[in-house]
Amino acid sequence: MDTFYIYDVRRAIAVPGGKGIFTFLLLLLGMLCQTLHVDAQDWARPVIKNQQRVDLRDLGYTQVNEIPVNSSAVTSLITARDGIVYGGTSGEDAYLFIFDPTINKVKHLGKVPGHTGIHHSLVEDKEGNIFIGTGKNMFEDIPMSKWGEGDDKLDVTLWKDIKEYFSGYEGGHLFRYNTKASNEHVKLVNENCEVEDLGIPLIHNSIYALTISPAGDEIYGLTYPEGHFFKYNIGLKKFTDLGEIDARKVYHGPERQWRTLPRALICDDSGKVFMSGNKGMLIYFDPKLEKLVSTNIEVPGDYYYMQFYQDYTAIEYFAKDAKGLIYGGTTDGYIFSFDPVKMQLKNLGKVRASRRLRCLTVGKDNKVYLMAGERSTTRPCQFYAYNPQTGEFETLGLLIADRSPYYYWRGQQFDCMTTGTDGTIYLGESERKSHLFIYIP
């Protein structure tokens, strides 16, 4: 009797010939299908050992009031003092949502009508109200002119294109959301968020980033594309334009067609507001002097001093630990720590050779959790942790929520993070269809 052999990487099987050929063919077909299935998922193996610590939540109730596809990219997250996590989205419409740990669900609070982006622009005041800064969707492509038509310099052409793109835009608004009055209301998909419109800080500009003073009475913001720094006095309901943070216009990133400006602001415990500015220097606003001051400290980046250098990096994200030490991430992918009392910056390095450190947060275990990667299918975001005690990085890999056979989702793009009051790390996915990811260290 003939014997047929087939070799699989997992096992070898011998099947008798003759009438057993039909059985052999069935086995062969089954193993080929199994092999194809395994190979298709092979590159996405998780690194986190305890996969039960990774999960996700839909942005609302599926097929009932879930935030729609193309409007669900999560681009702002904060944890309020009562433990509720607030998020803002960008896309065809901007939405506000909450995750309440006590019910373990995401509930959307309605869309912000007429606005397409909430980018790093959520803050909580001393009364527990949430303030929302809106703007254009930062994932849109700006229509580009053909270089050389009328201008012989690329940066001049880029700036004209950006100005043209924003010329018909009224401007980003600052809104106030009353949590006590509106959090219990259930919203349908197309219902509007119950917000109070506080006005526009600068016409033809998005609100690009927000932070709030330690006392919770003054909001500070940054506009795009003109890069104006402003403050809003909550009690007086008054905007004050404090001028440009950087008169130069460079195009180093994060996205090459967008002007390079910092995407984050942060207040230290004394009330100073830090950001990056001209030539990649760390600057701050001094509320006592009422002006911007340069520290003459260079933000870590990929600088090529042997060349005629035209551009520089910017800060993408900030976080602060319990002792007031500030951590930041840059468009070139570096993480740094900054002591605002001693005015000392320490470059902690890069976790990947490619660009961009997208977002970070400080956990209750004092580790810094961060996402690094570009907005690209070939260089998706990967998850890391930095331990300040040892100075070491830990690779946590792709975030994969695997609850097979019920659901399986692989996160590849993230633009915001926050730490819950119990130490849970929340991460905002920023894809066409997005989720709120949850990681328990």
Instruction: Report the amino acid identity of residue 157.
Output: T
Asked, for residue 244, whether it belongs to a domain, the answer is yes
Asked, for residue 312, whether it belongs to a domain, the answer is yes
Q: What is the mean pLDDT of residues 269-295?
A: 96
pLDDT for the residue numbered 131: 98
Asked, for residue 186, whether it belongs to a domain, the answer is yes
Closest residue by Cα to residue 213 from 136, 145, 267:
267
- Same-domain pairing of 128 and 184: yes
206-215, 222-231, 326-335, 373-382: the lowest-pLDDT one: 373-382
159-163, 181-185, 195-199: the lowest-pLDDT one: 181-185
- Same-domain pairing of 81 and 141: yes
pLDDT for the residue numbered 154: 76
pLDDT for the residue numbered 213: 97
- Same-domain pairing of 151 and 99: yes
Q: What is the mean pLDDT of residues 109-136?
A: 96
Tell me: the pLDDT tens digits for 407-439? 999 999 999 999 999 999 999 999 999 999 999
pLDDT for the residue numbered 17: 46
Taking the C-alpha atoms of residue 95 and residue 220, their distance in angstroms, rounded to an integer, is 22
Asked, for residue 47, whether it belongs to a domain, the answer is no
Q: Mean pLDDT of all residues in the chain?
A: 89
Taking the C-alpha atoms of residue 209 and residue 118, their distance in angstroms, rounded to an integer, is 9
- Same-domain pairing of 167 and 32: no
Inter-residue contact 221 to 133 (CB < 8 Å): yes
- Same-domain pairing of 23 and 158: no
User: Phi and psi (nearest 5°) for 58?
Assistant: -65, 155
Taking the C-alpha atoms of residue 264 and residue 298, their distance in angstroms, rounded to an integer, is 16
Q: What is the mean pLDDT of residues 275-284?
A: 96
Asked, for residue 45, whether it belongs to a domain, the answer is no
Taking the C-alpha atoms of residue 132 and residue 100, their distance in angstroms, rounded to an integer, is 19
pLDDT band at 36 (very low <50, low <70, confident <90, very high): very low
Question: What is the domain extent for residue 36?
Answer: 1-40
Asked, for residue 13, whether it belongs to a domain, the answer is yes
Give one word for 408, left, alpha or beta, with left for phi > 0 and alpha for psi -120 to 50: beta
Q: What is the mean pLDDT of residues 134-147?
A: 86
pLDDT for the residue numbered 188: 81
pLDDT for the residue numbered 183: 83
What percentage of the chain exceeds 90 in pLDDT?
74
pLDDT for the residue numbered 306: 63
pLDDT band at 391 (very low <50, low <70, confident <90, very high): very high
- Same-domain pairing of 344 and 367: yes
- Same-domain pairing of 90 and 4: no
- Same-domain pairing of 16 and 140: no
pLDDT for the residue numbered 10: 32
What percentage of the chain exceeds 70 in pLDDT?
87
Tell me: the pLDDT tens digits for 197-214? 999 999 999 999 999 999
Tell me: the pLDDT tens digits for 216-246? 999 999 999 999 999 999 999 999 999 999 9
Retrieve residue 346's tokens.
């320490």
Cβ contacts of 116 within 8 Å, gap of 6 or more: 90, 91, 92, 93, 94, 135, 136, 137, 140
User: Phi and psi (nearest 5°) for 162?
Assistant: -65, -45
Q: What is the mean pLDDT of residues 384-391?
A: 97
- Same-domain pairing of 29 and 103: no
Domain count, the chain: 2
pLDDT band at 20 (very low <50, low <70, confident <90, very high): low
Taking the C-alpha atoms of residue 85 and residue 417, their distance in angstroms, rounded to an integer, is 10
Q: What CATH number has the domain bearing residue 252?
A: 2.130.10.10
- Same-domain pairing of 28 and 153: no
Asked, for residue 143, whether it belongs to a domain, the answer is yes
Q: What is the mean pLDDT of residues 83-102?
A: 97
Residue 2 has pLDDT above 70, yes or no: no
- Same-domain pairing of 419 and 377: yes
Tell me: the pLDDT tens digits for 394-414? 999 999 999 999 999 999 999
- Same-domain pairing of 279 and 134: yes
Place of tokens 């602001």: 265
Asked, for residue 46, whether it belongs to a domain, the answer is no
pLDDT for the residue numbered 3: 43
Inter-residue contact 396 to 372 (CB < 8 Å): no
